[in-house]
Structure 1
């Protein structure tokens, strides 16, 4: 279809106000060309914004124009558990065809991912509400899939003897802070260890296909995982991750409640306590879910505080550091995981005595820490802001292609797009803000969990890193100096005097000693005076 000049100008105008005008215009032109009888002229501004930030959803809308118009009409409608369950009632759960069901689940997810994304990028929701809506969507699909798998397995093997199953959410799903392209971390619990299924009547009336409850529920979970994680022409619904169960990939995919209790009492490790902080029932039998939460309570919230567990947490983080790149905003330097570890360590140490800390949400835990004054108010406000900033960035990185990525794009052009999506006028402003926020988060992590080597490396980065005056001044303010401008001059002079050391032995010595002195100065009662004194020490 040839596009008339007026429509072309409308498309160009709508695209110009997006983070990526070229991509928005290209996708809008494709939409109009391939759907000539469904021109979305009044919707151009919203569609352009969507098409600029998500190629994945742009392709979906071009192939399904009616879904775009429906989503725009409903953009102010809150996405709730009730509304999702009502819409999901139309899915073909009665039809025991796995391919048909997989297709229905994937299309349902795309329909509502489109709505959630539109509400997010147009400001109808904030980052917290967006994460909550993504969580509700996942829970709805998980619940439907579990029920369908149970129904099919009951048809094959009969009903299990006096038993039920529940799925426990962990990770971001458990925290109700799911992101756009996240795994769903789950463990499966059933209640009765013994017993067999009723079987199904054969032609002669004799019941066949009787299996143990354990085998039945393992089959249920395996089919459930296949429903959601199998790659089809419509993609996947969710990547189901069951590796947080006892024994990980070597363990059974479903276990009775008693087995979980025995495992955690006898062999549970610190990292499993951290994982279970965010545990909550997500689907299946509600009563059994509550029983599981009660069973793990003594393990997660222990009677005594064992500070040696901090060393285990440090070791876990070091292992993560050796596996993932420093630039990974989730698991790398000053990233999402370090903010979470900081909060969860407080929860592990003090959750037994302070019941309000026993919350599965990271943001809720930060709120409780502020109310209980367990860390400086300003630091926790900064941590919360940085956590939300990184989660927002994570969303924009993932919504483009619906891929699980946590690193900035390699090209300057794509980074510019991310910068504008995040509300910055330029790439340099965005990267400066990101560096400062990660330095702040890293400092808070180091204050609780950092090793001497970590603290030394951070101080050395202040002395030798490629930080702009604005970044360094912002970090000094975060470290509670009263006059950042004067302290910035002190820092520059210290750097200059350090560079005057010529021999390799002198440089090695100053790089070893000066970071320690700098960190001591920044943690002093009066960091301004201490920094000035440190400068004087070098110049005399």
Structure 2
């Protein structure tokens, strides 16, 4: 084996890696040792990358052709190895669907920025060939895998800024939700329009989806829906939730969370739009008004969608943010933080939630009558708050840098195993892998950077929302 591949510390299990590389080199068109050295340089997990490459070559029809393509394109080969080493679920998707590798080896494909319209158009072509409802949902799972791969690669390669990654994942989620709505409704009522409008809250509402996000959804009917339509729509909503969340051979589309609907888990699964308007006028808690700020319709009746937007504007951006409401929201944030583990970069002190909470409170306080302050994405809101002098340029810069760092870290943690985790790993080997995925030296370097970031955010949170 090429002597540089025997460098101490490159592999966790040098003997297993050497055997795998020897087997790959013994294949027709097997690459040189220099090829492996170049591709594994700065790879987050060289062991995983080599093992997954061997598995992938065993799945493709012509390994010699693919190896020659990789050797002829050093930069694309390095990107390909990056995906194989960064995420086992994505490596498994490539092995399950060898044809998807062409997306990572074609510069034109990699440069395509996904849009909801483009993904929906591609999805409809896939659905046109589906032979059954279950096959149609499988086609949508394939569509999700197909678009997640180039998004991840552009993220890991640093060719897209983090907000562009979040927006691309959000467009992908929106498109799949809209297509799944059509599939499930047409199965139940062929040839008719679905009466249900789907409203997204949370990360999808804010166009800031994670790699392993839940989707927080609320279902809305028009006021004119009669009891028969309501019964059919309720059955649709239940089937739709199962269609998104059931795990099959390609995994699940999305985990669905309906707890942000009125009265939470005990409330009706869907309501007419006037019922939502009445609830937010009379019964909603302050934290629910805050959650409403991060909501937007993603599929359904245009008239209902327009009324929901008006509902959000009127209830989340009132003329004045009451002192009691502010105290209630701050108290809730404190309670959440008390139950968070120290290694939780989302809910813990100085974490993602502190930034989002700070920004949303300021939006509610200053947003009345200012549409530019009523934006959904956190980074855009920070920029608007700076223009309106609700944040100093220094504080705004710190919040933006902290949010981008912590959200990037959150993504790297979730890439490893497609788990909705926000906890820093305790295992030093995994910590080193995440550190390298962040572009840092190792796990210790990552821990130092994370502590520094969270300290700064914690100080900002206190100074902005708890001034003496």
1:411 corresponds in structure 2 to 427
1:258-407 matches, cutoff 5 A:
258-407=274-423
Q: Deviations over 1:323-364 (max 9, x none)?
A: 331211111121100100000111111211433211111111
2:173 corresponds in structure 1 to 138
SS at match of 2:425: coil
CA distance in 1, matches of 2:312, 2:59: 55
SS at match of 1:61: helix
Indicate yes or no: 2:111 matched with 1:53: no
CA distance in 1, matches of 2:40, 2:53: 8
Q: Deviations over 1:206-226 (max 9, x none)?
A: xxxxxx221121112111111
Q: CA deviation at 1:28?
A: 1.7
**Structure 2 spans left out of the alignment, 5+ residues:** 1-21
1:432-511 matches, cutoff 5 A:
432-450=448-466
Query: Which of these two proteins has the greater Rg computed from alpha carbons?
Result: 1
1:195 corresponds in structure 2 to 226
Q: Deviations over 1:30-75 (max 9, x none)?
A: 3234437233333431211111111111122123221112333111
Sort the Cα spacing of 1:95 and 1:44 in 2 relative to 1 into closer, same or farther, 3 A. Answer: closer
Q: CA deviation at 1:317?
A: 1.1
CA contact (8 A) 2:289 2:316 kept: yes
CA distance in 1, matches of 2:435, 2:85: 13
SS at match of 1:91: helix
Sort the Cα spacing of 1:355 and 1:13 in 2 relative to 1 into closer, same or farther, 3 A. Answer: closer
Q: CA deviation at 1:296?
A: 3.8
CA distance in 2, matches of 1:100, 1:132: 28
Sort the Cα spacing of 1:392 and 1:296 in 2 relative to 1 into closer, same or farther, 3 A. Answer: closer
- Which range is displaced more, 224-233 or 352-361? 352-361
Q: Deviations over 1:426-481 (max 9, x none)?
A: 332221111111011111111233499xxxxxxxxxxxxxxxxxxxxxxxxxxxxx
CA distance in 1, matches of 2:224, 2:85: 53
CA contact (8 A) 2:130 2:139 kept: no
CA distance in 2, matches of 1:72, 1:430: 30
CA distance in 2, matches of 1:420, 1:353: 45
CA contact (8 A) 2:351 2:406 kept: yes
CA distance in 1, matches of 2:382, 2:203: 15
CA distance in 2, matches of 1:27, 1:194: 52
1:483 corresponds in structure 2 to none
CA distance in 2, matches of 1:264, 1:241: 20
TM-score, structure 2 length as denominator?
Answer: 0.87
Indicate yes or no: 2:55 matched with 1:30: yes
Aligned length: 433
SS at match of 1:308: helix
CA contact (8 A) 1:164 1:288 kept: no
Structural RMSD (CA): 2.2
CA contact (8 A) 1:28 1:47 kept: no
Sort the Cα spacing of 1:63 and 1:230 in 2 relative to 1 into closer, same or farther, 3 A. Answer: closer
Sort the Cα spacing of 1:233 and 1:132 in 2 relative to 1 into closer, same or farther, 3 A. Answer: same
- Which range is displaced more, 135-144 or 440-449? 440-449
Q: CA deviation at 1:382?
A: 0.7
Sort the Cα spacing of 1:71 and 1:16 in 2 relative to 1 into closer, same or farther, 3 A. Answer: closer
Q: CA deviation at 1:193?
A: 4.8
2:41 corresponds in structure 1 to 16
SS at match of 1:240: strand
Q: CA deviation at 1:110?
A: 0.8
